[in-house]
Structure 1
Amino acid sequence: MKKARWPAALVAALLCAGTASAQQMWFEKYRMKTPDTKFFEYLQRLSFNGDLRLRHDVSAKRGPGLNGRNRLRYRLRLGMEALLPWELSVNARLASGTGEQVSTNQSADNLSSQKGIYIDQAYLRWSPIVSQEGDGSFYLQAGRMPNCLWRLYSSDLLWDDDWNPEGFGEGIEWLLPPGFTVFANAMQVVADEDSNSGKDQWLFSQQVGGETRLPFDTRFKAAAAYHSWSDVNRSSLGAAAVQDGNRRVGGVLANRFGVLELTGQLSGWFRQTPVRLQATLARNVRSVGLDGTAACAAANTCPSARDGYQYGAIIGEAKMPGTWEAAYFQKYSQTDVTVADAADSDFGDGGTNQQGQIAWLAYAPAEWMVFKAKYFNVDTIDTQFLPDNKAVRRYQGDVSLKF
């Protein structure tokens, strides 16, 4: 009986070897054909990226009927870029969140129920070579895209960093002798589309600016922009998150919005530490007082409430291993300085009609990791409008990782 096992074992081994050989031949056959498919033939490079942020978010609120909040939150984003011929690229990013236009955060809640993933970005970009010397660049992009305007931290007076406009964007930059750079950006954004109206809401933004070198190893960069919101008084914008601030009648913005913006940064060094001084000024030049309208109480005088500013300093930069960063900013945002639903969502409870201070400390133990502690001290400017008589003291503790 033992001798009879050897022929059977030999046959089984030969069959396994034959099967493995057949599998290898099949693999080689189809693996060699893979580059001949159209998908791989035109794809020049495919890259992926992502980040995870864990946050402890505490808000202490003072005002009638207000309660503080203590939340554990997280943000996950996964991105992809596919380079194609003719200087084209397809870009996409998925993100956590609840579908809001100004946040990709998700809170630990609902007995650990599963959370959603949304299309955060999906756009086509064309970046042709416009200069063989490399002193100029140009791009066109369309889809759900990153905000293509040049922005600083102080720019969140108007734009939340998580706001990804849907529409078209263009930009050009050119280096002129002796070391002066000029640039221009524009975007045409679909704010809302109404099937029952011939007037859709759009945003048209134009920006021009420049950067120059100064003595003592310093640089100055500044830009002027105009943001025109079209037909926003005809219908609500349908935003997933409606933030504090703007005067509304029946959910529709009562004022008109044509926002003039000036933003600048002076950057330099103190010994071996980078220092950046930033400022953003804004005025809604189309704003009116709204006296005698449904947006203003009969016994009150309603000002145009059209101005805003933010300025401050960032010392250091938490980017490379062992580096740190400290910052302080002062912010003032009147009720109708801009469309509140696109403005920063972390200042108070987000939006406009707020003033206060922002400070943070950050440290990078590695190139891919940053610890950050941030504090907001926020009060309402005009208590007859949202957010009414609300004061918010907000703390955020973050751990951010890139991969």
Structure 2
Amino acid sequence: MTETRKLFFTCAMAILAGGTTAFGQSADALINKLLEKGILNVKEANELREETDKNFSAAYSEKSGMPEWVTALKFTGDLRLRYDGIYSDVPGLVDRHRARFRLRYGVVASLAEDFEVGFRLASTASTGGNSAGDPVSTNETFGNNANRKPIGIDLAFVRWSPIETPDWTGSFSVGKFENPFSFSEMLFDNDYTPEGLAQTLGYRINEDHQMRFSLGQFILDEIGTSSRDAYMFGAQTRLNSRWDEHWQSSLTFGALSILNPRTLTSAAVPDVNRGNTRTAAGVLVHDYNLLIADAAVTYTFDSAPFYKGKFPVRLGGEYIYNLGAPNKNVAFGFGPTFGKAGKRGTWEFSAKYKEMQADSVYEETVDSDYGAFYFRNPPYDSPGGFPTYSAGTNVRGPVFRFSYSPFDFLTLSTMYAITELIDEVPPGSPSDGSKFIFDAVFRF
């Protein structure tokens, strides 16, 4: 064994001289070759792997300047170029044509003892007042004489994942992180990154059935003049099942509740959406204690025209009921999805009808691309004002989406929504319109 070790390390150190990266990539290949030739047995090979891992970590740490407790770095980024058009045939309602972009770049460092630390920067549009950026959108609009576009902190978190077994996984997150819930855009815009605490627990019942439990304790606002800060608490249970090689299903139950919603006035937090019932001073009238259920069934075909790989067809729906409001407290959506874009040669088409009554959900976390025309500002806004398109609640109508991925790094997408307000502002005024979006998303 001693001579074998000398032979191995002579080869390994020769490679190390050319760079730590080459050494790390080649060590396993060398050990496998020695094992294949019968020079090492399995126990000796495993011992060598442990030693070379330690030696590589130390060498890489010394050469790169990275501490030994940083075990990996993962960089991610994407650039989205967008055309955003809003249209209406109603006289007095203004069509808009915007060229926009989203830029995101981040890194996650894997540390010893199952810890991760990550951050992500993203383009962000100021919402005015006391806000540095829109919480439900990372879009920036080209214009303003080519002024400099701001960048904001989109993620800043620590995650600890102490549970990792064949059947159980578990993690704890603190900071500003990706949403731990799998609720749809009817509750959270895809760009919304909550702040506070989150816990997730996964359980593998067997090869065909897995459960996921998620908890969240989110900070909505810290009130400097009051001890009644606003928080959101949530819980979700999800069961994913595979019944055979073609049929899959998912079933989800959840709840969300806002503590001290009266402090979330239109002046206290970014007022980017509309729809909730408020007083003339912009104070929320109702509580938000939501019960959520969604279900979906998927059939996977072996192939489909112009589609690379197996082809999934999904039919799903979601229902939301707010216990904290006496009326206008229901939201629902349903529709099919064909295919799944994201990999080279794949495409996706979906059609979904949505109705989001005024007080069904909290307006300031929902989809920023789904709205309708207000012919006049709500009472809590400045009086008068010209007709404007606003996202939020109090909206209904169908949404159609199509995406195609010509390459792994590029996805082209379109979205078309035909919407109207459920309760017009003012009553009887026209609110119907449409929105068309074209996106080109480059991942790097």
Give the TM-score, by structure 1 length: 0.83
Pick from 329, 332, 339 the counterpart of residue 309 of structure 1.
332
1:164-175 equivalences under 5 Å are: 164-175=193-204
Pick from 192, 202, 222 the counterpart of residue 231 of structure 2.
202
Would the alpha carbon gap of residues 62 and 167 (structure 1) be closer, same or farther in structure 2, given more than 3 Å must change?
farther
Pick from 218, 227, 248 the counterpart of residue 256 of structure 2.
227
> 1-side partners of 2:277 and 2:134: how far apart?
20
Would the alpha carbon gap of residues 49 and 216 (structure 1) be closer, same or farther in structure 2, given more than 3 Å must change?
closer
1:246-265 equivalences under 5 Å are: 246-249=276-279, 250-265=281-296
Contact 1:380/1:388 (8 A) holds in 2 = no
What residue in structure 2 maps to residue 89 of structure 1?
116
Contact 2:345/2:406 (8 A) holds in 1 = yes
What residue in structure 2 maps to residue 112 of structure 1?
146
What residue in structure 1 maps to residue 85 of structure 2?
58
> 1-side partners of 2:403 and 2:241: how far apart?
29
**Is residue 2:275 matched to residue 1:245?**
yes
Give the TM-score, by structure 2 length: 0.76
Q: CA shift at 1:386, angstroms?
A: 9.7
* 2:299 maps to amino acid: G
* 1:381 maps to amino acid: I
TM-align CA RMSD: 2.2
What residue in structure 2 maps to residue 6 of structure 1?
none
1:277-316 equivalences under 5 Å are: 277-288=315-326, 304-316=327-339
What residue in structure 2 maps to residue 343 of structure 1?
366
> 2-side partners of 1:97 and 1:91: how far apart?
19
* 1:113 maps to amino acid: N
* 1:335 maps to amino acid: A
Q: CA shift at 1:61, angstroms?
A: 3.4
1:123-142 equivalences under 5 Å are: 123-131=157-165, 134-142=166-174
Q: CA shift at 1:33, angstroms?
A: 10
Would the alpha carbon gap of residues 64 and 144 (structure 1) be closer, same or farther in structure 2, given more than 3 Å must change?
farther
Contact 1:382/1:388 (8 A) holds in 2 = no
Pick from 320, 332, 354 the counterpart of residue 355 of structure 2.
332
> 1-side partners of 2:115 and 2:427: how far apart?
45
**Is residue 2:73 matched to residue 1:46?**
yes
1:365-397: CA deviation from partner (whole Å, max 9, x where unpaired)? 101101111101111111257997422200001
Contact 1:54/1:400 (8 A) holds in 2 = yes
What residue in structure 2 maps to residue 180 of structure 1?
209
Contact 1:331/1:355 (8 A) holds in 2 = yes
| Residue segments in structure 1 that go unaligned for 5+ positions in a row | 1-30, 289-303
Q: CA shift at 1:274, angstroms?
A: 1.2
Q: CA shift at 1:285, angstroms?
A: 1.0
Contact 1:245/1:386 (8 A) holds in 2 = no
> 2-side partners of 1:252 and 1:242: how far apart?
15
**Is residue 2:374 matched to residue 1:355?**
no
Would the alpha carbon gap of residues 173 and 375 (structure 1) be closer, same or farther in structure 2, given more than 3 Å must change?
same
Would the alpha carbon gap of residues 365 and 387 (structure 1) be closer, same or farther in structure 2, given more than 3 Å must change?
farther
> 2-side partners of 1:126 and 1:262: how far apart?
29
> 2-side partners of 1:68 and 1:190: how far apart?
36
Would the alpha carbon gap of residues 63 and 255 (structure 1) be closer, same or farther in structure 2, given more than 3 Å must change?
farther
Would the alpha carbon gap of residues 387 and 269 (structure 1) be closer, same or farther in structure 2, given more than 3 Å must change?
farther
Would the alpha carbon gap of residues 387 and 169 (structure 1) be closer, same or farther in structure 2, given more than 3 Å must change?
farther
Q: Which has the higher contact order (CA 8 A, sep 6+)?
A: 1
Would the alpha carbon gap of residues 104 and 236 (structure 1) be closer, same or farther in structure 2, given more than 3 Å must change?
same
* 1:285 maps to amino acid: L
Residues matched between the structures, number? 353
